[in-house]
């Protein structure tokens, strides 16, 4: 059974100042999502689910449907403010989605195979898709999941701090802890994260999560239970977000699952700030020139 790819594309793009999911970066106007789709098809995925806000559906259909028809099955999952919110809490007033863990939950009905989940605005590289597809096709333990890890030195921005899930990996290659660090930056040939005004150095090879996960469908009911509890605790917090690492941490601590950390040498780059766009455009141009991608993807 071919795995499914979920794409987190419901974000507001507040720091970018626009809908970066549909912005053009490639030499022929390709979005970053185009490269993820192209690599996922090459790696053997059988379906893609775009997790989006309702108001983006027509735009996504116009951009991606002509490219995907006949190549891979596709569907949409809508991340609404009320999705999976307990009825007893009533109408929730929010200005932004509930976060990546909630987004994953919103794709439950469209997903019946092992699946990978990625950000819409990150370039991950073919090797990463091949590694996660191989794991999802061959791992027979329903409680074994995975995380594709990158070296923190390859994931920084020259235009500001970045948020990364810093990973602690045990001797067996499984994740012990993933901690969200929201202010990571280079300084004088070193890498630091800031928390409560204090600086802590990270080694350049520290594995970090770039939100490239692989899960078995058994994760959905667990995620639903966790989000129900989270919604009860945060229904008056309009900026609170329920992240995938919360689910991962629960799996590990409760013994309900484990996550194999798979390192990879793929080149990663992403878009957080408007100033990142020229860097991404130049990187994609080089990949085309090196023959990693054809002149036109579709």
The shares of helix, strand and coil residues in the chain, as percent rounded to the nearest 5, are 35, 30, 40
Cα 164 to Cα 14, 18, 128, 193, 210, distances in angstroms = 18, 22, 17, 10, 7
pLDDT of residue 18: 58
Show the tokens assigned to 229.
């509890």
Of 216, 129, 206, 204, the closest CA to residue 166 belongs to 206
Query: What are residue 14's phi and psi, to 5 degrees?
Result: -65, -40
| Structure tokens given for 274 | 């408007």
Q: What are phi and psi of 28, to 5 degrees?
A: -115, 25
The whole-model pTM stands at: 0.93
Contact assessment for residue 177 and residue 263, using Cβ atoms and an 8 Å cutoff: no
Return the pLDDT at 210.
94
pLDDT at 276: 86
Task: Give the pLDDT score at 13.
Answer: 54
Sequential pLDDT tens for the chain (298 residues):
899 999 999 975 555 555 788 999 999 999 999 999 999 999 999 999 999 999 999 999 999 999 999 999 999 999 998 889 888 888 887 877 899 999 999 999 999 999 999 999 999 999 999 999 999 999 999 999 999 999 999 998 888 898 898 999 999 999 999 998 989 999 999 999 999 999 999 999 999 999 999 999 999 999 999 999 999 999 888 889 999 999 999 999 999 999 999 999 887 898 877 888 999 999 999 999 999 999 999 9
> Distance between CA atoms of 25 and 287, rounded to whole angstroms?
12
Read off the pLDDT of residues 206-241 as tens digits, 9 standing for 90 and up.
999 999 999 999 999 999 999 999 999 998 888 899
Which of 167, 211, 159 lies closest to 185, judged by CA? Answer: 159
* Radius of gyration, alpha carbons of the chain: 18
Rounded Cα gap, residues 155 and 167, in angstroms: 14
What are the C-alpha distances in Å from 207 to residues 112, 150, 155, 194, 225?
Answer: 30, 5, 10, 17, 29
Residue 230 pLDDT: 95
State whether residue 193 is helix, strand or coil.
strand
Q: Give the whole-angstrom CA distance, residue 258 versus residue 294.
A: 38
pLDDT at 254: 97
Note the pLDDT of residue 14. Answer: 52
The count of other CB atoms within 10 Å of the CB of residue 202 is 18
Give the span between the Cα atoms of 258 and 252, in whole angstroms: 6
Dist CA 178 CA 208 (whole Å): 8
Residue of 179, 158, 157 lying closest to 168 (CA atoms) = 179
């Amino acid at each position: 059974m071919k795995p499914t790819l979920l794409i987190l594309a419901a974000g507001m793009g507040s720091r970018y100042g626009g809908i970066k999911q549909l912005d053009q970066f490639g030499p022929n106007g390709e979005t970053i999502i185009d490269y993820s789709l192209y690599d996922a098809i090459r790696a053997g995925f059988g379906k893609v689910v775009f997790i989006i806000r309702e108001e983006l559906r027509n735009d996504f259909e116009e951009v991606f449907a002509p490219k995907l028809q006949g190549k891979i099955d596709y569907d949409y999952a809508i991340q609404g403010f009320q999705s999976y919110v307990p009825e007893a809490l009533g109408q929730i007033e929010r200005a932004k989605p509930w976060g990546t863990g909630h987004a994953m939950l919103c794709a439950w009905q469209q997903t019946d195979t092992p699946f990978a989940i990625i950000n819409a605005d990150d370039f991950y590289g073919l090797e990463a898709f091949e590694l996660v597809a191989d794991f999802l096709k061959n791992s027979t333990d329903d409680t074994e999941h995975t995380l594709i890890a990158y070296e923190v030195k390859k994931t920084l921005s020259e235009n500001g701090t970045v948020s990364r899930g810093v990973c602690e990996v045990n001797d067996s290659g499984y994740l012990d802890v993933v901690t969200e660090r929201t202010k990571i930056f280079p300084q004088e040939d070193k890498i630091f994260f800031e928390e409560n005004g204090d600086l802590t150095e990270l080694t350049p090879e520290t594995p970090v999560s770039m939100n490239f996960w692989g899960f078995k469908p058994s994760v959905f009911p667990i995620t639903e239970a966790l989000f129900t509890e989270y919604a009860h605790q945060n229904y008056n917090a309009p900026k609170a977000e329920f992240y995938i690492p919360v689910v991962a941490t629960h799996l590990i601590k409760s013994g309900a699952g484990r996550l194999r950390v798979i390192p990879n040498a793929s080149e990663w780059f992403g878009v957080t700030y408007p100033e990142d766009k020229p860097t991404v455009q130049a990187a994609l141009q080089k990949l085309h020139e090196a023959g990693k991608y054809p002149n036109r993807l579709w």
